[in-house]
Amino acid sequence: MNLAIGPGGRLTRQTLARRYAAALSVLLLLGVGKIVIQQKEISVNQVAGSDHVVAPGLVIGPTPTDTELQQLQLGLRVDGVINLAGPSVAESATVASLHQAYLYLPLTAGAAPTWTQLRKLAGFVRRYRERGDWVYVHDETAGAGGRAVTAAAMLLLLDGQTWTAMSAQLTPAGLGSLDERQRLALEQLGSALHPTGPKNPKNTNGGQPAGNPYAAARLEPW
């Protein structure tokens, strides 16, 4: 007995068109996804390989966009953000949505962190750096501005680096962006951390010139 065989399973033109369209959509999605991933990798690699990286775990730069915060978290494991500029409701909301820690420590243009603020900065960076995460420090300029550069330089000095080593970690352009008050603050911190000369019995600052706002400073590795 012969079995009746139908039209051989040939697909209609409409079915073939739908399948080709579906396959093409998948290919397009894969292509777009690859481009997005590459763009994110390029963006993160540009930051990681740039002069904005001060030390492992610490990167400085301009005010980040929402997309840049996401990229920094995915690519560099940035889990903490320090804002030295004006308040930003949008940034704090984005940071909260990404479950990143946020430290708002406003400094006026041309200012340097006080000793109390510097200790707070060091403690914040240490908390995330010890577990292998990164911290992003920014002010509101187009690049890594004077406040961010000053804070980074002070953190390096506080970590025990010499003035020469600290200067080598930052770009000449970055150091050149500091104003006189910020340069003076760096010199005062360096002098307090590495006092020279005999201690003056009448000077309770351990040989430091009277009026040094960082006279109580001590090395605090982070």
CA-only gyration radius of the chain, Å: 27
Instruction: Name the nearest CA neighbour of 98 among 122, 123, 73.
Output: 73
Q: Tell me how far apart the alpha carbons of residues 138 and 133 are, in angstroms, rounded to a whole number.
A: 17
Per-residue pLDDT tens digits for 157-202: 999 999 999 999 998 888 998 999 999 999 999 999 988 744 433 4
Per-residue pLDDT tens digits for 26-39: 554 544 344 333 33
Q: Is the dihedral of CA 170, 161, 49, 66 positive or negative?
A: negative
Burial, 55: exposed, middle or buried (Cβ in 10 Å; 0-12, 13-18, 19+)?
A: middle
SS (H, E, C) the chain: CCCCCCCCCCCCHHHHHHHHHHHHHHHHHHHHHHHHHHHHHHHHHHHHCCCCEEECCEEEECCCCHHHHHHHHHHHCEEEEEECCCCCHHHHHHHHHCCCEEEECCCCCCCCCCHHHHHHHHHHHHHHHCCCCEEEEECCCCCCCHHHHHHHHHHHHHCCCCHHHHHHHCCHHHHHCCCHHHHHHHHHHHHHHCCCCCCCCCCCCCCCCCCCCCCCCCCCCC
Q: Is residue 216 part of a domain?
A: no
Whether residue 89 sits in one domain with residue 25: no
Average model confidence (pLDDT) across the chain: 79
Q: What is the pLDDT of residue 134?
A: 95
Domain extent at residue 25: 16-49
Whether residue 158 sits in one domain with residue 72: yes
pTM (whole model) above 0.75: no
Whether residue 98 sits in one domain with residue 184: yes
Whether residue 129 sits in one domain with residue 56: yes
Whether residue 77 sits in one domain with residue 168: yes
User: Final residue of a domain: which of 25, 49, 73?
Assistant: 49
The model's confidence at residue 45, banded by pLDDT at 50, 70 and 90, is very low
Whether residue 68 sits in one domain with residue 24: no
Q: What percent of the chain has pLDDT over 90?
A: 53
Whether residue 158 sits in one domain with residue 134: yes
What angle (nearest 5°) sits at the alpha carbon of residue 189, between those of residues 220 and 84? 80
Whether residue 115 sits in one domain with residue 36: no
Q: Is residue 118 part of a domain?
A: yes
Q: Is residue 220 part of a domain?
A: no
Is 208 or 160 the better-scoring residue by pLDDT? 160
Whether residue 171 sits in one domain with residue 79: yes
At which residue do the structure tokens 């959509």 appear?
25
Count: domains in the chain: 2
Whether residue 34 sits in one domain with residue 63: no
